[in-house]
Amino acid sequence: MSRLKACFERLSAESRKALIPYVMTGDPQPEVTLPLMHAMVEAGANIIELGAPFSDPMADGPVIQAAAERSLEHHTSLHDVFAVAKKFREKDDQTPIVMMGYLNPVEIMGYESFARQAAENGIDGVITVDMPPEEAEDYIAALRAHQIDPIFLIAPTTTEERMQKIAAVASGFVYYVSLKGVTGAATLDVAGVVERVDLIRKYIDLPIGVGFGINNAETATSVSRCADAVVVGSAIVNRMAAQKDVKSGQTAIITRDVAELLKSMRVAMDAK
Amino acid sequence: MSEVKDKIDYSSMPDERGHFGIYGGIFASETLMQALDELKEAYYNSINDKVFQAQFDFDLAHYVGRPSPLYHAERLSREVGGAQIYLKREDLNHTGAHKINNTIGQALLAKAMGKKRVIAETGAGQHGVATATVAARFGMECVVYMGAEDIVRQAPNVYRMKLLGATVVPVTSGSKTLKDALNEAMRDWVTNVDDTFYIIGTVAGPHPYPAMVRDFQAIIGREARRQMQEQTGRLPDALVACIGGGSNAIGLFHPFLADESVEMYGVEAAGDGLETGRHAAPLCAGKPGVLHGNRTYLMEDQDGQIIETHSVSAGLDYPGVGPEHAWLKDIGRVNYVAATDKEALNAFHQLTRVEGIIPALESSHAVAYGVKLAAQMSAGQNIIINLSGRGDKDINTIARIEGIEL
| Residue A198 lies in domain | 3-271
Give me the pLDDT at residue B5, please.
53
Give me the pLDDT at residue A186, please.
57
**A263 and A254 in contact (C-beta within 8 Å)?**
no
Total number of residues shown for chain A: 272
Residues 6+ away with beta carbon under 8 Å from A169: A133, A136, A140, A150, A152
What residues in A contact B35, CB-CB < 8 Å? 157
Report how far residue A24's alpha carbon sits from residue A254's, in angstroms, rounded to the nearest whole number.
13
A112 is catalytic: no
What residues in A contact B178, CB-CB < 8 Å? none
Q: Which residues of B are catalytic?
A: 99, 121, 388
pLDDT per residue as tens digits for the range B18-63: 999 999 999 999 989 999 999 999 999 998 999 999 999 999 999 9
pLDDT per residue as tens digits for the range B96-109: 999 999 999 999 99
Q: Is residue B1 pLDDT above 50, yes or no?
A: no
- Dihedral sign from CA coordinates of B88, B94, B96, B99: negative
Tell me, yes or no, if B148 comes closer than 8 A to chain A by beta carbon: no
Nearest CA in chain A to B292: A58
Q: Is residue B400 pLDDT above 50, yes or no?
A: yes
Give me the pLDDT at residue A248, please.
62
- How many angstroms separate the Cα of B184 from the Cα of each of A179, A180, B198, B247? 17, 15, 11, 21
Candidates B298, B295, B287; CA nearest to B179 is B298
- Omega before A105 within 30 of 0, i.e. cis: no
Give me the pLDDT at residue B22, please.
97
AA letter at B170? P
What residues in A contact B31, CB-CB < 8 Å? 59, 153, 155-157, 177, 180-181
Report how far residue A132's alpha carbon sits from residue A129's, in angstroms, rounded to the nearest whole number.
8
Number of domains chain A contains? 1
- Side-chain-side CA neighbours of residue B354 (13 Å): 18
Give me the pLDDT at residue B2, please.
42
pTM value is 0.95
CB contact under 8 A, A158 and B293: no
Q: Which residues pair with B383 in a beta bridge?
A: B85, B238
- Helix and strand numbers, DSSP H then E, in chain B: 16, 15
Report how far residue B39's alpha carbon sits from residue B211's, in angstroms, rounded to the nearest whole number.
12
Give me the pLDDT at residue B177, please.
83
CB contact under 8 A, B33 and A156: no
- How many angstroms separate the Cα of A245 from the Cα of each of A116, A233, A240, A241, A255? 36, 20, 10, 8, 14
Average pLDDT over residues B266-284: 97
User: Which of A25, A73, A80, A108 best tests the B interface by mutation, with the highest count of B CBs <10 A?
Assistant: A108
Our CA-based measurement puts residue A228 at a distance from the nearest CA of chain B, in whole angstroms, of 20
Give me the pLDDT at residue B7, please.
80
Interface of A with B in 90-149 (CB under 8 A): 102-109, 129-132, 134-135
Tell me, yes or no, if A204 comes closer than 8 A to chain B by beta carbon: no
Tell me, yes or no, if B119 comes closer than 8 A to chain A by beta carbon: no
Core vs surface per residue B42-78: b (16+ CB within 10 A) or e: bbeebeeeeebeebbeebbeeebebbbebbebeebbe
Average pLDDT over residues B263-291: 97
Report how far residue A117's alpha carbon sits from residue A135's, in angstroms, rounded to the nearest whole number.
22
Label residue A272 exposed, middle or buried (CB < 10 Å: 0-12, 13-18, 19+): exposed
Strands B141-147 vs B294-298: parallel, antiparallel or unpaired: unpaired
CB contact under 8 A, B174 and A78: no
- ipTM > 0.95 (yes/no): no
pLDDT per residue as tens digits for the range B187-238: 899 888 889 999 999 999 999 999 999 999 999 999 999 999 999 999 999 9
pLDDT per residue as tens digits for the range B343-391: 999 999 999 999 999 999 999 999 999 999 999 999 999 999 999 999 9
- For residue B336, the surrounding DSSP H or E stretch is strand B335-340
What residues in B contact A132, CB-CB < 8 Å? 26-28, 30, 33
pLDDT per residue as tens digits for the range B136-164: 999 999 999 999 988 987 888 899 999 99
Our CA-based measurement puts residue A16 at a distance from the nearest CA of chain B, in whole angstroms, of 28
Report how far residue A90's alpha carbon sits from residue A122's, in angstroms, rounded to the nearest whole number.
10
Secondary structure (DSSP) of B253-283: HGGGTT-TT-EEEEEEEEEEEGGGTEEE-HH
CB contact under 8 A, A181 and B25: no
Here the CATH number for the domain that contains residue A62 is 3.20.20.70
Give me the pLDDT at residue B6, please.
67
Average pLDDT over residues B289-311: 96
Q: Is residue B3 pLDDT above 60, yes or no?
A: no
Candidates A116, A89, A85; CA nearest to A100 is A85
What residues in B contact A155, CB-CB < 8 Å? 29-31, 33-34
Catalytic residue among A27, A49, A80, A124: A49
Interface of A with B in 37-76 (CB under 8 A): 53-59, 61-62, 65-66, 69, 72, 75
pLDDT < 70 stretches in chain A: 180-187, 247-249, 272
Candidates B10, B6, B30, B16; CA nearest to B214 is B10
User: Which of B190, B196, B299, B302 best tests the A interface by mutation, with the highest count of A CBs <10 A?
Assistant: B190
pLDDT per residue as tens digits for the range B111-142: 999 999 999 999 878 899 999 999 999 999 99
Give B4's pLDDT tier (boundaries 50, 70, 90).
very low
Percent of chain B with pLDDT over 90: 86
Give me the pLDDT at residue B174, please.
81
